[in-house]
Amino acid sequence: MALSSTPNVTASLTLSSPNLINDALALTVTAKLNKAGASDSLDQVNGVSRKIYATATTADNLFAAADYTDNKAHKLYLKNASTTVGEFINIEIGSSNVSVGRLYAGEWAFMPWDGTADIDIDTSAGLTIEYALFYEA
């Protein structure tokens, strides 16, 4: 699905805590999601989608590197939509399924992806994930 003819895709992150450190923490960062080496915004999106797993799953391919162009800008959003505390997903990259990290119920990740290795996930149980990939063609 292509975005509008003049997209302007941005990502924002806010971290706050009244007592994590000696002073209150309030950090907000925003970045425009640009094409590789350019000031033009990313212009393609795959998602935002939900995927429902009936049972625990191993190495389910979410994005195949063969479907995307190498050496371009890709940004992945992934959320574990479960509300059950112990349920998690593992994010894995490549044919040997190297673990990038684990997301527990309600947690999410936003990360760059170079498009050269598959993105797979494992689920600890039947659960729902949300995901989107913003990229350039």
Tens digit of pLDDT for each residue in 81-102? 999 999 999 999 998 999 999 9
Domains: count for the chain: 1
Q: Determine the Cα angle at 7 with ends 4 and 13, to 5°.
A: 130
**Does 81 map to a domain?**
yes
**Does 86 map to a domain?**
yes
Give me the residue label for tokens 């350019």.
38
Q: How far apart are CA 43 and CA 41, in angstroms?
A: 6
pTM: 0.85
Domain with residue 66: its CATH number is 2.60.120
User: Quick count: other Cβ atoms within 10 Å of Cβ 31?
Assistant: 11
**Does 121 map to a domain?**
yes
* pLDDT lower than 50: segments of the chain: 1-4
Q: How far apart are CA 50 and CA 22, in angstroms?
A: 39
